[in-house]
Structure 1
Amino acid sequence: MKSNTFLKIMNRSRILLVFTVIIMLCNCSNKIEKSVDAKEEHKKPNIIFILTDDQRWDALGYAGNPLAYTPEMDKLAKEGVFFKNAIATTPICAASRASIISGLQERTHNYSFTTGDIKDEYMRNAYPRLLKNAGYYTGFYGKFGVKYNHLDSLYNVYENYDLRYDRKDRTSYYYKTLGKDTVHLTRYTGEKAIEFIKEAPTDKPFSLQLSFSAPHASDNTVEQYFWDEEYDHVLKNTTVPDGQTALNIVPGADISEDEYYDRLPQRVKDGFNRLRWHWRYDTPEKYQHSVKGYYRMIAGVDNEISKIRKELEAKGIADNTIIVFMGDNGLFLGERQLAGKWLMYDNSLKVPLIIYDPRNKTHKDIDAVALNIDVPFTILDFAGVQAPASWHGKSLKPFMDSENFDVKRDTILIEHLWDKKEIPPSEGVRTKDWKYFRYVDDKSIEELYNIQEDPKEIYNLVNDEKSQEVLTNLRAKTEKLIVKYKDPYALNLSNETFKNNMFSWKISNNTQKQTAYQILVSSSKENCDKNIGDVWNSGKVESETQDAITYNGKELDATKTYFWKVRVYDELNRTGSYAGALKLSIKKN
């Protein structure tokens, strides 16, 4: 009996021992697998994306600009890939940044300064979130520029700040502190980047997004531009040539004679582009101060990039850290006697774009058109993360990997749709050889340029007999891309009627509400199609009303035919497109 009990105990012990060994082997295997996974994860490159504010494409020494002091940016361009024709599809910081984060055209995300938060539907695929979900340690410092309340879903660490537009002196740029010192915002952002690099975990790759406010002007100050004294040496003994005395000498300082201003549409002459020209450039003294200040602020960013690269070297990760550098939009530096951006000329559309991959030492200058919406796609490609099918851009990584890569991009949509009276919205297309654009609130104002033969966009060929086929083709392409990139969440209208001198319509999207409307009444279908309300333009009316809205224009003639259309604004104050032109029926007495 005792012998049987002893044998049973021994058998149980053997079984337990076997199970213990199996468990230990499994745990060991899991640890090995996790270790392998960690090593594979760590092989992925770190990625730093640097975005500047208002830096135009030629504000680089590498681009041949003698005014620019940018040794570190030039070094990145010489060692990496420089895109000579990079375009911000929307030349304004808010919409451009929304496009970069979401991977979408402005036409789709429909976000700008005066809208509510960007729709969460478009932020679910925000590129930093996809990187974070893929195991990247993500960080952000600087101007996010898009209203969104869930930055913690995008970044492990972040600090969102911008220059202080509410201040009227140098404290617009000097309000952040390092220790006991109040420092320029550029210096602060550089130091935050260095801290991030030092503290980033070493067992996973990181993605750091730096968004410098410089060289954006402090719009509400007399001086406009503020920089650290250490950059006073930039252009110190130089008189910056202006356009009236130095045509073709300095990129960005030409075609500023009266004749080029006189050609502009009246709505541009009456808008912010001209107002800000008076702030910055309308006297020789202002011009010298503003242009020098602009380039000195860029020099400040350049110096911070140098410090960041030294920190990468010190930590031993420079050889596995990709740097992408870009401007959010271009800028007028007095061309056509304008300042600011917003318009469809290349001065405000073209931006610098450099991709530096230390693992690939082949330098290239790329002529193909690259877009701001290509950047998130490219970053994910470097990280080995699949880009969403809904995105509108393309990866630029193959330019690094192949000698004969063709991005296969024929026509791009360019647009600035912010509904602001002082800045006329515009839309159009750009191809390798041509550019066409028009003003949304009056589509009869059109411009057509052969940008290969006329890169400064001096000769408008809209009325040129030989260019009519091109004009017709580009108009059609514009309409096609507008439909292609339509916002799927836009309010849809139906049952538009005009009866008893009153307008009515219905909203078919029950999940959203109308917060305002605008009605146009035109003397012809042609005018109505071109958004010319020459009989009556209600302007934007804040109201949820969709029924029995009284016509308040001049008395209508029952013997004539009129046309009308309406557009509505949603709960985020996003501007919808106009509905189609409808005949306006008038009862005869």
Structure 2
Amino acid sequence: MLRSFFGLLILCLCLSTTHAAEKTNIVFILSDDLGWKDLVCYGGSLAETPHLDQLAAEGMKFTNAYSPAPICSASRASILTGKTPARLHFEFVTKPAGVDPPFRELLPPPYTQDLPLKEVTLGEMLQQADYATGFFGKWHVNEHFKRYLGWSPTHGPKQQGFQTAVETFGSHPYAKKFDWKPGDFKTNEFPPDAVTDNAISFLKQKREQPFFLYLSYFHVHTPVRSPTDWLIEKYKDKAAAGPGEAKRRAHYGAFIETLDHYVGQVMMALDEQGLRDSTLIVFTSDNGGHPEYAENGPLRGSKWNLYEAGIRVPFLVRWPKHVQAGSVCTKPVSGIDLFPTFCEVAGGNCSKLTLDGKSLVPLFEGKSADWPTRALTWHFPYYHPEKGYKKAKESIGVNDFAVSKTRPVSAIRVGDSKLLQFYESGKRELYDLRSDPGEQHDLSNSQPERTAQLGAQLKQMLQDMDARYPTDPFTNQPKTD
């Protein structure tokens, strides 16, 4: 009897260990303001990105991937919850309490300070699935605490499901100790980055349970000021020969390669720990490229607007034994899809949650033929820029390398059709992204039925999400079309 008991106990322990070993570790890497075409594997020609190109070669590259919003906080809150910014009422960047959005012709809704604790985050969901959770880098979904981007003691990562979290700007110029001098870094040397180092320390920890690492880089967000002279020299001539302001572009190229180097360190650490085959890596960006730094053409627009370059992002996935190396997926996907995707990978249960995204696991596994056509929406009921609006460029073009005026707008994509709804004028624009990816030929007049259909669908979806709209200051009524 005693022997049988010990035999059963050993079997249970073995089953438990086997089950833990079978679970997939998840590494999610989010870059900041990286443009859709900044990586070589997406056609980028400024900076070298060997490690991210390797990630694409060893996994899957998505060519129609989107951020949930054209701006930081809104996109990050959406990724964390699997809900659209419209449903979350978190459509802009977080601001200090008491700061109101500027209004022009219309009055935007109030700013949101914090991602509410009632929302279930990736960290909380994966904890429930018995994952060790870690967060490192840029949070930006709480009101700034004590300093710009400071983590809140009530709404920071540790209060939102991340057991391990270390706050630091790392090597980004946001850091007050960013005091490197010219010549501090020799050729092929990069600044040490505490964000990366903390993340690697987390994945090296010995544990029986699987882990979820959320690595949120500050690169390549402004201020774009690289301390690596050798990299600036490397890209100086190429930047001068290309579009945009040469000095900015040289520093931007240095920033991109620096980000790539840090990602390469994480990939190497996974290999050294023997975790490659048991780890899913997803890499993407929080929104489109900055108009003064990124070469976004031939797509129109940039960060802060809903034309393609404002919301189209790189999206790379590596998952050995599940994702075919060197594969490409052309299906439209979004950052809102990450929550249900990670839930399925972890074996979690999200059935009771309201989610706007859809698990991408079938696409990872090459089952794109069965992927249904669906509607993706975006909602930005604000004006941008907040300051200097009058001086901003009136129209939004291709590779402007200038900040343009963004007015309250929503958008919907269904198949290859994309419609934008502008609330000031009530104007709608319709584009066929297959034949016109640069959104140069408005079809709203020649295809009035399709325009009306998509406009009605967008309006209904936003109403179902209880979206907030800009209001008419004279009638105090929301402008819903």
Please, what TM-score do these two structures have when normalized by structure 1?
A: 0.65
Q: Does 1:350 align with 2:351?
A: no
Question: 2-side partners of 1:80 and 1:458: how far apart?
Answer: 33
Matches within 5 A, 1:57-456: 57-111=36-90, 112=92, 113-114=94-95, 115-122=112-119, 125-147=120-142, 149=155, 151-153=157-159, 154-162=161-169, 171-173=173-175, 175=177, 187-198=193-204, 200-218=205-223, 224-232=224-232, 234-241=234-241, 287-331=245-289, 332=291, 333=294, 341-360=303-322, 362-363=324-325, 364-388=327-351, 389-418=353-382, 422=389, 423-440=406-423, 442-456=424-438
Matched to 1:226, the amino acid is S
Matches within 5 A, 1:419-498: 422=389, 423-440=406-423, 442-462=424-444, 464=445, 466-486=446-466
Q: Is the 8 A contact 2:139 2:157 kept in 1?
A: no
Question: 1-side partners of 2:350 and 2:408: how far apart?
Answer: 30
Question: 2-side partners of 1:327 and 1:36: how far apart?
Answer: 38
Question: 2-side partners of 1:132 and 1:434: how far apart?
Answer: 39
Query: 1:171: how far off?
Result: 4.7
**1:450 to 1:579, Cα distance in 2 relative to 1, 3 A:** closer
**1:108 to 1:443, Cα distance in 2 relative to 1, 3 A:** farther
Question: 2-side partners of 1:339 and 1:518: how far apart?
Answer: 22
Q: Is the 8 A contact 1:91 1:341 kept in 2?
A: yes
Which whole-Å deviations, capped at 9, do the CAs of 1:487-522 have from their partners, x for residues lacking one?
Answer: 6xx8xxxxxxxxxxxxxxxxxxxxxxxxxx9973xx
Q: Is the 8 A contact 1:137 1:207 kept in 2?
A: yes
More strand by share: 1
Matched to 1:458, the amino acid is Q
**1:291 to 1:171, Cα distance in 2 relative to 1, 3 A:** closer
Matched to 1:192, the amino acid is N
Q: Is the 8 A contact 2:236 2:246 kept in 1?
A: no
Question: 2-side partners of 1:401 and 1:518: how far apart?
Answer: 41
Matched residue SS, 1:429: strand
Q: Percent identity?
A: 24
Q: Does 1:50 align with 2:29?
A: yes
Matched to 2:362, the amino acid is P
User: What stretches of structure 1 of length at least 5 have no aligned partner?
Assistant: 1-20, 165-169, 219-223, 243-252, 254-280, 282-286, 491-516, 521-536, 539-563, 567-577, 582-589
Which whole-Å deviations, capped at 9, do the CAs of 1:163-216 have from their partners, x for residues lacking one?
Answer: 89xxxxx853463799xx999887222212221122x22312111110000101
Which whole-Å deviations, capped at 9, do the CAs of 1:255-312 have from their partners, x for residues lacking one?
Answer: xxxxxxxxxxxxxxxxxxxxxxxxxx5xxxxx11222222221111111111112212
Matched residue SS, 1:40: helix
Q: Is the 8 A contact 2:31 2:284 kept in 1?
A: yes
Matched residue SS, 1:210: strand
Q: Is the 8 A contact 2:239 2:247 kept in 1?
A: no
Query: 1:438: how far off?
Result: 2.4
Please, what TM-score do these two structures have when normalized by structure 2?
A: 0.79
Matched to 1:139, the amino acid is G
Matched to 1:399, the amino acid is L
User: What stretches of structure 2 of length at least 5 have no aligned partner?
Assistant: 96-111, 143-151, 390-405
Query: 1:152: how far off?
Result: 2.2
Query: 1:26: how far off?
Result: 4.5
Matched residue SS, 2:447: helix
Matched to 2:341, the amino acid is T
**1:171 to 1:150, Cα distance in 2 relative to 1, 3 A:** closer
Q: Is the 8 A contact 1:433 1:452 kept in 2?
A: yes
Matches within 5 A, 1:547-558: none
Which residue number corresponds to residue 585 of structure 1?
Answer: none
Query: 1:87: how far off?
Result: 0.8
**1:416 to 1:27, Cα distance in 2 relative to 1, 3 A:** farther
Larger Rg: 1
Which residue number corresponds to residue 3 of structure 1?
Answer: none
Question: 2-side partners of 1:347 and 1:70: how far apart?
Answer: 20
Question: 2-side partners of 1:518 and 1:135: how far apart?
Answer: 42
Greater RCO between the two (CA within 8 Å, min separation 6)?
2
Question: 2-side partners of 1:485 and 1:63: how far apart?
Answer: 33
Question: 2-side partners of 1:176 and 1:206: how far apart?
Answer: 31
Q: Across the two proteins, how many residue pairs are aligned to each other?
A: 420
Query: 1:397: how far off?
Result: 1.3
Question: 2-side partners of 1:486 and 1:185: how far apart?
Answer: 45
Query: 1:430: how far off?
Result: 1.5
RMSD across aligned C-alpha pairs, in angstroms?
3.2
Matches within 5 A, 1:527-538: 537=473
Matched residue SS, 1:235: helix
More deviation in 149-158 or 86-95? 149-158
Matched residue SS, 1:120: coil
Matched to 2:407, the amino acid is P
Matched to 1:449, the amino acid is Y
**1:472 to 1:133, Cα distance in 2 relative to 1, 3 A:** same
Matched to 1:215, the amino acid is V
Query: 1:109: how far off?
Result: 0.6
**1:404 to 1:295, Cα distance in 2 relative to 1, 3 A:** same
